[in-house]
A and B are shown apart, each in its own frame.
Chain A
Amino acid sequence: MKKRVAFFGILLGLGLVAAEVPGTVAGQWTGGTLGLILQPAPAAPGGGSTINIGPLPTYTAELAEGEGKELVMSYCSICHSVTYITMQPPLANWKPTMDKMLKTYGAEKWIPADVAEKILAYLQAHYTPETRKE
């Protein structure tokens, strides 16, 4: 049964794409699968005290492609997601932010100086008012 629902979902998705007619303007809708509801396993009675506390988001921002991206993705997500980077205004100089992470928040415990330099170069290459793409 579940398989069938998924199948219709895909068809619907295709339908939306095909509905783009020359001369019409894009409407306000988002593509995606309709009617796909995952069935969670029912809770079993027992002595535990498990309480439903809602979903956790898994979204993190997609960073610009370029040299050093992997270093940023791994070292700058030790304490928080890299979404903090894309949430900033385009910063002309990332050095104060890097220093804040390394010294004020103690990231130098994990991030070697040469890696920190490469990360700074990456941020300057992709996230300043001149270099930031989006």
Chain B
Amino acid sequence: MELSLEDLLTKFKPVSIAAVNQCSGNSRSRFQPRVAGGQWGNGAMGNALWTGVRLKDLLEAAGVKPGTVQIQFEGLDRGKGPENLGSGRFMKSLDLDDPVVEETILAYAMNGEPLPMLNGFPVRLVVPGKFATYWLKHVTWIRALTEPDKNFWMATAYRVPDTPNGSTTPEAVAAGQVKTVPIGHFNMPVRSFIIDPDGTSPLVVGMPVKIRGVAFSGHGKVVKVEISTDDGKTWRPAVLGADYGKYSFRTFEFTWRPSQPGNYVIAVRATDEKGNTQPDAPVWNPGGYLWNKIERQEVVVLAAK
């Protein structure tokens, strides 16, 4: 079946979903020992309102034959490398029985406007709760596969250890003991980030300061965000902001009035509706994926002289 952009705009019911698009390797620079790959801080993520066509509606219109196990996506962003290598073509596949297939959309608008080129114009995949590697841009081909996808970007790259949190050790990797699965087997773990204060200027004793930030989870709605001002020893609940949907950023705010001068460590911890809470332990895997340790921010509080 072949569809034009106009067909997508006019023949299918539009749906909108707010969802976070996050790189598998967001925060990779935190890994110890360090791993190769882009040394991201926390910047490799974004949240937007995506509008488009349900993948399910497209599959229904096309008719998926029995025996299909995966749906494969390929876009126009080809590389200069040879066709048969990962540097030539970029493809990703979702298991047909993965619940995310129900929620996936082929988006043509971002925040109510046509997708910018860099965000995947004219249509991109939005796979709520999954990492960005599945959110293919410039989608041009959708294929039904009768066998699991063996292409480089599924079989070799973006693999994570088959452990509950995708963590392992350098020793286990060196010993060749680690069984891996595509990162799509995981939903993005729950995370939260302190945006304010950012430590660049001192706080003042007795003056209220708003601790603010965002939280999200690939497993569903964030239901609780807690703040610690003593490096994680004690926690108090923050006030949650508007709920734009279960895969969106959710803002939080907590007003703190430091009573003593000194150095403080603020920490933030989110919990989602499935009961997942951020751990205070790091993960480690060779790809530098799935980081979600509790974030901290050091601040200095000065006396009001």
A53 near B38: Cβ-Cβ < 8 Å: no
B29 near A89: Cβ-Cβ < 8 Å: yes
Determine which of A88, A89, A105 lies in contact with B87 in the assembled complex, contact meaning CB atoms within 8 Å. Answer: A105
Ordered by A's residue number, 29 sampled pairs between the chains whose C-beta atoms are within 8 Å are A28-B200, A51-B114, A51-B122, A52-B114, A53-B114, A53-B115, A53-B116, A53-B121, A54-B117, A54-B118, A57-B118, A78-B80, A84-B38, A87-B37, A87-B38, A87-B39, A88-B37, A89-B35, A91-B36, A104-B85, A104-B86, A105-B81, A105-B85, A105-B86, A106-B81, A106-B82, A107-B87, A109-B81, A109-B82
**A79 at interface, CB cutoff 8 A:** yes
Complex interface residues of chain A between 61 and 93 (CB less than 8 A to chain B)? 78-79, 84, 87-89, 91
Total contacting residues, chain B, CB less than 8 A: 24
A89-B118 contact given A28-B200, A105-B85, A106-B87, CB 8 Å threshold:
no
Q: Which residues of A contact B118 (CB under 8 A)?
A: 54, 56-57
A78 to B121, CA, bound (A): 23
- The residue on A at minimum CB distance from B157 is A104
A51 near B81: Cβ-Cβ < 8 Å: no
Complex interface residues of chain A between 7 and 28 (CB less than 8 A to chain B)? 28
A44 to B33, CA, bound (A): 56
Most A Cβ at <10 Å: residue of B85, B115, B200: B85
A51-B121 contact given A78-B80, A79-B79, A89-B34, CB 8 Å threshold:
yes
A89-B36 contact given A79-B80, A104-B86, A107-B81, CB 8 Å threshold:
yes
A84 to B121, CA, bound (A): 24
B121 near A97: Cβ-Cβ < 8 Å: no
- The residue on B at minimum CB distance from A78 is B80
Distance in Å from the Cβ of A77 to the closest Cβ of chain B?
10
A46 to B88, CA, bound (A): 36
A88 near B36: Cβ-Cβ < 8 Å: yes
Determine which of A53, A87, A88, A97 lies in contact with B117 in the assembled complex, contact meaning CB atoms within 8 Å. Answer: A53
Distance in Å from the Cβ of A74 to the closest Cβ of chain B?
13
- The residue on B at minimum CB distance from A94 is B36
- The residue on A at minimum CB distance from B28 is A89
Interface residues of chain A, those whose CB is within 8 Å of chain B, are 28, 51-54, 56-57, 78-79, 84, 87-89, 91, 97, 104-107, 109
- Extra inter-chain contacts (18) besides given A53-B121, A87-B38, A91-B36, CB under 8 Å: A28-B200, A52-B114, A53-B115, A53-B117, A54-B116, A54-B117, A78-B80, A79-B79, A79-B87, A88-B36, A88-B38, A104-B86, A105-B86, A105-B87, A106-B81, A106-B85, A107-B81, A107-B87
A20 to B39, CA, bound (A): 34
Determine which of B39, B86, B88, B116 lies in contact with A88 in the assembled complex, contact meaning CB atoms within 8 Å. Answer: B39
A84 to B122, CA, bound (A): 26
Q: Which residues of B contact A109 (CB under 8 A)?
A: 81-82
Distance in Å from the Cβ of B196 to the closest Cβ of chain A?
14
Complex interface residues of chain B between 88 and 141 (CB less than 8 A to chain A)? 88, 114-119, 121-122
Distance in Å from the Cβ of B109 to the closest Cβ of chain A?
12
A78 to B79, CA, bound (A): 9
- The residue on A at minimum CB distance from B117 is A53
A84 to B5, CA, bound (A): 33
- The residue on B at minimum CB distance from A90 is B34
Q: Which residues of B contact A79 (CB under 8 A)?
A: 79-81, 87
A28 to B198, CA, bound (A): 13
A106 to B36, CA, bound (A): 19
Distance in Å from the Cβ of A40 to the closest Cβ of chain B?
15
Q: Which residues of B contact A57 (CB under 8 A)?
A: 118
Distance in Å from the Cβ of A86 to the closest Cβ of chain B?
9
A91 to B38, CA, bound (A): 12
- The residue on A at minimum CB distance from B122 is A51
Distance in Å from the Cβ of A98 to the closest Cβ of chain B?
12
Determine which of A54, A89, A104 lies in contact with B39 in the assembled complex, contact meaning CB atoms within 8 Å. Answer: A89
